[in-house]
Amino acid sequence: MLAHNDKFEVLGTDNAPGQEVRRAAGNINGLMRGDKLVGRPVDFSHGDVDAFTPTPGAFERFCEAVEAGGRQAYTEYRGSEDIRGELAKRLAAFTGAPVGAEQGTIITPGTQGALFLAVAALVDHGDKVAIVQPDYFANRKLVQFFGGQILPVRLDYLSGSTDAGLDLAQLRAAFEAGAKVFLFANPNNPTGAVYSAREIEAVAELTRAFDVTIIADQLYSRLLYRGESYTHIRAQDIPEERVVTIMGPSKTESLSGYRLGFAFGSRAVIERMEKLQAIVSLRAAGYNQAVLRTWFSEPAGWIEERIRLHQGIRDDLLDIFHAGGLRTRTPRAGSYLFPTLPPLAVNPQDFVGLLRHQASVIVTPGSEFGPHPDSIRLNFSQDHAATVAAGRRIVDMVERYSK
């Protein structure tokens, strides 16, 4: 009955963030060195919305939408026109380039929904797509699901320069080899690297030269640390139709329970995304859409305080990892850390299992993000004290299992 197994083979979710509940402990006991490390469990696979709570007013906007009734329950497939109008203005201001409210915007079920629709709109069997390694794990899966071919582009994220470390020669080679789409997250997920102005300008130049379309996942671009700068690719000298930008309030704003994303830019791509959304899920949940009214409209100082608190956690974790000998890129934005593990006496997959079983720490294996089995990803949008303690347990575990 179930044909086309390959298509679903690449969609393994067992190691995906949030799916840990489905994993059995297996024979992990036989590998254990020493006793359990006691401490408050921390699930670094995603942010803790109980530690960093949703934007003030989000729930109230939802309640108003329920009160408004049918008008808000049944929006256009691309989402409520007036909400998209508000967001278009705010995102134009944030990114530094105009956003066409009516034709150039779509509200989706999460940024994941936007990514899925954008890739579907642009990638079909045999199409070549340039993908950064490492980068958000679903990027590869999406391209493969639609039969596209991945041309990997290396990110030398540990080089420590002011650049993110994108291998521009490899990107050019991918375009020369026929890649028609470049899909990348900026800030990078899992490393927190932010592409420099120089790098983004170079990407823009290559995009123009090779007539490529860009899908820019900017999910974490608001959570930018003190003193860092961010360059929006859509504000570069590229035809508007060549860029679709994806953002959403699930991370920095902790609104993930509402499943909201937003894509803007290329009208042709957005039009296809809406056509597809009509058969994928019709629309982002109508009442939930109203929560976006709070987005980029938070109380004064709220976002700054959130950034300050995350920076504090980042700095403490970096200190712990560096002291423990774990090479780690300093994230310039976002709430991910991607430390490299030293050579271990157990395989990386088992080490991740041991972290969970023995140290009450859940992390995402680096292999989810490309050929990076010796790394682990942490989303440190968590309770500060619990995170520091869990970071120490990770270092302790690395020492116990080092070769």
Residues in 48-107 at the binding interface with a copy of itself, rule: CB under 8 A: 48-50, 53-54, 59, 62-63, 65-66, 69-70, 72-77, 81
Which residues fall within 8 angstroms of residue 385, CB to CB, at 6 or more apart?
Answer: none
Stretch that binds a copy of itself, among 46-54, 162-170, 198-206, 321-329 (CB under 8 A): 46-54
The answer to whether residue 259 forms part of the interface with a copy of itself (CB under 8 A) is yes
**Amino acid at the residue 84:** R
Query: Which position among 15, 256, 311, 340 is part of the footprint of a copy of itself (CB under 8 A)?
Result: 256
Tell me, residue by residue from 283 to 302, as one string, x for binding to a copy of itself by CB under 8 A and - for no binding: xxxxxx--------------
**Residues that contact a copy of itself, how many (by CB under 8 A):** 76
Q: Which are the contacts of 192, defined by CB distance < 8 A and separation ≥ 6? A: 220, 329, 330, 331, 332, 333, 334, 335, 336, 337, 338
Q: How far is the CB of 39 from a copy of itself (least distance, A)?
A: 18
**177 binds a copy of itself per the rule CB under 8 A:** no
Residue among 238, 237, 295, 239 nearest 262 (CA) = 295
Binding segment (CB under 8 A) for a copy of itself, from list 47-55, 149-157, 215-223, 296-304: 47-55
Residue 261's beta-bridge partner residues?
Answer: 108
Q: Token digits for 334?
A: 């976002």
State the minimum distance, in angstroms, from the CB of residue 358 to a copy of itself. 23
CB-nearer residue toward a copy of itself: 22 or 403: 22
Q: Which stretch binds a copy of itself (CB under 8 A): 138-146, 193-201, 329-337, 353-361?
A: 138-146
Cα 90–chain centre separation? 21
Angle CA 335–358–397, to nearest 5: 65
> Which 6-45 residues touch a copy of itself, going by CB under 8 A?
7-8, 11-13, 16, 18-19, 21-22
Residue 261: C-alpha distances to residues 86, 106, 120, 139, 295 (Å):
15, 8, 16, 16, 11
- Residues comprising the chain, all counted: 403
Interacting residues with a copy of itself between 115 and 134 (CB under 8 A): 115-116, 121-122, 124-125, 127
